[in-house]
A = this chain, B = another copy of it.
Amino acid sequence: MSFNTFGHLFRFTTFGESHGPAIGCVVDGCPPRIPLTAADIQQELDRRRPGQSRFTTQRQEPDAVKILSGVFTDEATGKQVTTGTPIMLMIENVDQRSKDYSEIKDKYRPGHAGYTYDAKYGIHDYRGGGRASARETAARVAAGAIARKIVPGLNVRGALVQIGEHKVDRSKWDWSAVGGNPFFWPNSAQAKELETYLDGVRKSGSSIGAVIEVVAEGVPPGLGAPVYSKLDADIAAALMGINAVKGVEIGDGFATAAMRGEDNADEMRKPDAKTNEGRPVFLSNHSGGILGGISTGQPIVARFAVKPTSSILKPRKSVDKYGAETDVSTTGRHDPCVGIRAVPIGEAMLACVLADHYLRHRGQVGESAPWPQHRA
């Protein structure tokens, strides 16, 4: 992970600004002979796409992805498959309204990256946030669609679990509800209430924060690497690196600070021959599927907090790039809760970390699981 490249063996490098001609990424290190079409990627992009409800930005972007390299027809099957060479994914920008930004082009919006980009580089593309825009995350979702195909049996999904003071009722968690409401909320009844709540936030010209939970099932034990490539550390970086994220936790997370050792450690029982591939059975999953930086084989559970959108109608005190004081009010198109669309982005990042570690583990240790074979 360095500059604009994510990952070690499964890697992707993104490019593009919010109001430039295109954004996209080059996915490198992908195993060969994996069936891959643009449609596979498009279905993930469509979940993140803006303009699908009144609760996200009204910018209309089809986010149509093209594969420019790295795939070829497998003669045996007639299917398009990966070749092991770089996969270039391009998404053209079509609905830039750069004039929306002309009024604030010299002003630093509080909570935005405009000031820090200027402090670092002495120049930045202010239009729509430029490189710091959440549009960049479309490239992550595209890369994530490929990552999902790499770990056999992997299933990564996510849901919004908090928005403002509203938290999910875990006793009524329903994965099948997530796709049926504009909030990725795992409970249809609660989602209705949220519509009213979010309308209030939106109409007041304000914004609100959120917490997202992402879960990966089908992760084999053994992924991760000591000591500075721990699986949880890499997940933390991947999620914290999403725009507007201010916190990340694994398993019981911050709640462990108030827990006793006997309540936190997950007890183990003997392998059930029929289930679990001969591996020990855990009686709980406080660890969120990771111990010592290495996957346990249980579901990996991570949460991340997204701050409220900084671009709001309410005027805020700021300075311009010459140091003069001014007020800023953002009239462009923005998400009242940028956390909503972060759900597929979080899933994508988790999938990418797992794909990378799956290949890294296979590199160091090979394909045969050391345990229980080597202990038998």
Interface status of A267 (Cβ within 8 A of chain B): yes
For A, the interface residue count at a CB cutoff of 8 angstroms equals 168
A116-B292, A269-B317, A294-B113 known; A33-B206 Cβ under 8 A: no
Interface status of A179 (Cβ within 8 A of chain B): no
Residues of chain B lying within 8 A (CB to CB) of residue A292: 112-113, 116-117, 132, 243
A251-B246, A371-B119 known; A68-B108 Cβ under 8 A: no
From A307, which residue of chain B is reached at the shortest CB distance? B256
Interface status of A16 (Cβ within 8 A of chain B): yes
Q: Which of A5-13, A36-44, A52-60, A185-193 contacts its partner? A: A5-13
A120-B370, A362-B363 known; A308-B264 Cβ under 8 A: yes
Select which of B2, B119, B255, B290 is within 8 A of A369 by beta carbon: B119
Minimum CB–CB distance from A291 to chain B (whole Å) comes to: 5
Interface status of A78 (Cβ within 8 A of chain B): no
Select which of B2, B162, B307, B314 is within 8 A of A262 by beta carbon: B314
Minimum CB–CB distance from A14 to chain B (whole Å) comes to: 6
From A249, which residue of chain B is reached at the shortest CB distance? B247
Minimum CB–CB distance from A361 to chain B (whole Å) comes to: 7
Minimum CB–CB distance from A90 to chain B (whole Å) comes to: 8
* Cα A85 to Cα B211 with chains together (Å): 29
Question: Is B261 within 8 A of A6, CB to CB?
Answer: no
* Cα A305 to Cα B286 with chains together (Å): 14
Residues of chain B lying within 8 A (CB to CB) of residue A4: 26, 28, 85-86, 226-228
Residues of chain B lying within 8 A (CB to CB) of residue A227: 3-4, 14, 131, 136, 241
From A334, which residue of chain B is reached at the shortest CB distance? B261
Question: Is A115 within 8 A of B280, CB to CB?
Answer: yes
Q: A31-B365, A261-B312, A265-B310 are in contact. List 13 more A-B contacts (CB 8 A).
A: A2-B228, A3-B86, A17-B69, A32-B364, A108-B268, A112-B291, A113-B293, A116-B221, A116-B224, A207-B261, A208-B258, A246-B251, A256-B308
A and B contact pairs by CB, cutoff 8 A, 12 listed: A3-B28, A13-B13, A22-B69, A123-B374, A232-B245, A236-B237, A236-B248, A241-B293, A247-B249, A247-B256, A257-B306, A359-B363
